[in-house]
Amino acid sequence: MNATLQKIWAFFDERFLVHSLVALAKKKTVPEHKHSFWYYFGGIALFLTALQIATGILLLLYYTPTVDGAHESVQFIMSQVKFGWLIRSVHSWTANIVIGVLFIHMFSTFFMKAYRAPRELTWVTGFFLFVLFLAIGFSGYLLPWNELSYFATRVGTDIAGSLPFVGKALKTFILGGPAVGQATLTRFFWLHIAILPLAAAMLIGIHVLLVQIQGMSTPISLKAKPVKEISFFPDFIYKDVLGWTLILILVGILCVFLPWEVGKKADPFAATPLGIKPEWYFTFMFTTLKLIPSHVFSIEGEKLAILGFMLGGALWLLVPFINRRASRERPSPAFTVAGAVILLYIVVMTILTYTLHGL
């Protein structure tokens, strides 16, 4: 290290005790085994979130959250602002990729039973983070105020409106009135850029802190033999950075060859276009609601499905407390099968959304 760098290092070390953090990172170890590939999806999600925040801040420089100006400002960003197309495309693509990565992260944690004691709260914070990211995605989808986003929001909030007892009030609260309009755009904007990211940032802090305190879980099946450990820094971090770089290449290719489109400006007086769908990560629920019979055992099918999803979500959240066998470090194949069935259901329903005609 040359003299200048040493001086800089000394300056920061004196003020922030960097050497102790590095020592801690070097001392900290991470288990390495045949399933440790899945560990990296948490880091990739964190990296994509950082990209989201950085590009989101840049988009805020030009975006106008009004019914009359939103679409025009996005068009301006895409056509006039230097590298605006890249910033917006990175923001939109990573918004979708991060949800996919979170799905993988969540299911890999589920199948490896990494949620078992003492990591229940890591799972719980992760679950709420997932819900928050879905909400961030939903609120952000409306902001370009194009035909697709406008009607998808209408479809999405109609589903919320069909909830038993609270549906109507909830829908009015989300929309800020009886229909998607300026009030909706205003509250979706503030939710998307301030309230939800702030809540997510706090939860990410707790989630990462819990991971650091408790370390990474080793699957029950590998507990019998001693598991190899690698240092968190630099070994694990280097692999993380390698994964981030590969993701960055993928995002770059997507943005150049498939830049996120602006679409036609939303026309609230136009008829709902045929085949309107919500974002891909909501489609398994959307298709379920479309395919379920109007009445099941004399209960309204749509309401039954929504209640089913709510109940399923609650059970999913409470998995660490329900799976007592895993908490005693014993195999729990029933949970693995249940997880596989849920995953299969989500994949099949998502595929059906884009292949079934008339949905």
Partner 1 sequence: MKIPAALMFCLLLLPGALLAQKNSCVECHGKLEDELKAPVEGLKLDIHQQFGLSCQDCHGGNPAQDDADKAKDKTFKGAPKRAQVPEFCARCHSDSAYIRNFNPRLRVDQLDLYRTSRHGELLKKGDTKVAVCTDCHGVHGIQTAKHPKSATFPWNVPQTCGRCHADVNLMKTYKIPAGQLGDYKQSVHARALFEKKDLSAPACNSCHGNHGAAPPNVKSIAFVCRQCHPSAGELFSKSPHKKAFDEAGFSECDACHGKHKILPPTDAMLGTGEGAVCAQCHEPGSKPFAAAARMKDLLGGFSGEIEANRSLLDLAERKGVEVADPKYRLQEVHTLLVSVRNLTHGLDLADLEQKVGEGKSLLVGVRASAEGALREARLRRTGLIVATICLILFAFAFYLKIRQMRRPRP
* Residue 257 contacts partner 1 per CB under 8 A: yes
The residue count for binding partner 1 (CB under 8 A) is 22
Cα–Cα dist 42/108, whole Å? 10
Six-digit token string for 125 = 């914070």
Which helix (H) or strand (E) covers residue 241, if one does?
helix 237-257
Cα–Cα dist 49/245, whole Å? 14
* Of residues 194 and 258, the one with the C-beta less far from partner 1: 258
Residue from the set 79, 212, 214, 272 that interacts with partner 1 by CB under 8 A: 79
* Of residues 120 and 235, the one with the C-beta less far from partner 1: 235
Residue from the set 24, 50, 61, 256 that interacts with partner 1 by CB under 8 A: 256
Cα–Cα dist 280/273, whole Å? 17
* Residue 90 contacts partner 1 per CB under 8 A: no
- Give min distance, CB of 235 to partner 1, in A: 6
Per the CB < 8 A criterion, the answer to whether 32 and 230 are in contact is yes
- Give min distance, CB of 23 to partner 1, in A: 18
* Residue 300 contacts partner 1 per CB under 8 A: no
Q: Which residues pair with 231 in a beta bridge?
A: 29
248 contact partners, CB below 8 Å, separation of at least 6: none
Chain residues 213-242 in contact with partner 1, contact rule CB under 8 A: 234-235, 238-239, 241-242
66 contact partners, CB below 8 Å, separation of at least 6: 182, 185
Length of the chain: 359
* Of residues 43 and 126, the one with the C-beta less far from partner 1: 43
* Residue 54 contacts partner 1 per CB under 8 A: no
* Residue 85 contacts partner 1 per CB under 8 A: yes
* Residue 337 contacts partner 1 per CB under 8 A: no
Interface segment toward partner 1; rule CB under 8 A; list 9-17, 207-215, 247-255, 288-296: 247-255
Residue 113 burial (CB < 10 Å; 0-12/13-18/19+)?
A: buried
Binding-site ranges for partner 1 (CB under 8 A): 75, 78-79, 85-86, 234-235, 238-239, 241-242, 245-246, 248-249, 252-253, 256-259, 262
